[in-house]
Amino acid sequence: MEVTEGAVTIEVPSTSEEEVGDDVFYNPNQELNRDLTIATLRAYREREPRAASYLDAMTASGIRGVRAAADGWDVTACDLDADAIDLARRNLELNDLDGTVLQRDARAHLHESLTDVVDVDPYGSPMPFADAALANTRNLACVTATDTAPLCGAHFQAGVRRYSTVPQNTEYHREMGLRVLLSALVRTAARHDRAARPIFAHATRHYVRCYLELESGAGIADDCVDELGHVAHCEDCLHRVAERDLHATFSAHEALPETCPACGSERVLVAGPIWLGPIRDSAFVEAVRESVTDDMGTADRARDLLATIEAELDEPTHYDQHRLCKAWGRTAIGMDEFVERLHDAGFDATRAHYSGTAFKTDASVEAIREATGE
């Protein structure tokens, strides 16, 4: 069958939305991801006019590569599957677009040639492709992870094994997953004396997506490593402390206590190293939002998401109003009113994109409780 996304029409196998696995060529649930990718590529071309080449590392149906080619990028599409390669080539021809289609492992291609922008969107973890992508891409790495349970700490051992960190399953689990992924990618780039700094990242539905601007140099790689650290989280009162220190440990660092300083509970979780820095460059996210066009099927959702991320406070965790109100035995109120009460009490606060009831603030849990009560 044929589907239309943005300015292109492609041929795809007749696969239902529920069939998500290694043999799926086209996933309609990822249309928002792809629309945001095209808007990001447009904004990045304004940021770095010399960027011209785009590698679709796991092309499948070729939809990302075809859409990038329609937007003027010099596209190379890789896949190991012969049927995928044939389909990607047909879809370029169907849209009268040029592009190079290769049946090979994208890691081998990356080790043999440089590209300006690489898109790594595998089924599961992107970490097997991280070294090749971050060492051999000039400007921008676009990375998706769909193994959210390991990232968020729900599958703890898999998270430790794949991302070389300690993830914890908290009520801000989506943000935990995003910051675990960013930490792993930043550390991977640093091994090659490269800085990988997120200029736009989001956690949406069943995946995490991040866009990292790359730059070579040991000093700036060290600056990114300095943004890594740990979070201590009380399971009882929800108090948490973040500390920037890659080497901080549960027992050796005063900022990461064994008992909660707010309520005295010994049920304190420590996660890390995770990325504690900003997950986006606000000006760039604004440019991405302005690059969303009405021909995109998820244009309204994309603009709303980007507007929230653009304004989001730079705090390394978020709170959920419903979770807090349940703990306090209080009825939840409208989110806009909730955030406004924090502002009225003198605190910074914004909505957070992770859910409709998520927010970020510089207030402590007890201060939140006092500021938002009747």
With contact defined as beta carbons under 8 Å apart, do 177 and 163 qualify? no
pLDDT of res. 203: 97
In a 3-state reduction of DSSP, which class is residue 175?
A: helix
Q: Residue 22, exposed/middle/buried by CB under 10 A (0-12, 13-18, 19+)?
A: exposed
pLDDT of res. 29: 86
Measured at the CA of 119, the angle between CA 117 and CA 125, to 5 degrees, comes to 140
Domain 320-374 belongs to what architecture?
2-Layer Sandwich (3.30)
Tell me yes or no: is domain 2-228+277-311 CATH 3.40.50.300: no
With contact defined as beta carbons under 8 Å apart, do 110 and 133 qualify? yes
CATH 3.40.50.150 residue window(s) in the chain: 2-228+277-311
pLDDT of res. 27: 85
With contact defined as beta carbons under 8 Å apart, do 239 and 259 qualify? no
pLDDT of res. 26: 82
With contact defined as beta carbons under 8 Å apart, do 10 and 91 qualify? yes
- How many whole angstroms separate alpha carbon 166 and alpha carbon 356? 27
Q: What is the mean pLDDT of each run of 10 residues along the chain (374 residues)?
A: 92 61 67 97 98 96 96 97 94 97 96 96 95 97 97 96 95 96 98 98 95 98 96 92 72 63 92 96 98 97 98 97 93 96 98 97 96 87
Backbone phi, psi, residue 346, to 5°: 95, 15
CATH 3.30.56.70 residue window(s) in the chain: 320-374
pLDDT of res. 330: 93
> Tokens representing 161?
């094994």
pLDDT of res. 13: 82
Tell which residue, 340, 335, 337, 341, has the closest CA to residue 358.
335
pTM, 2 dp:
0.94
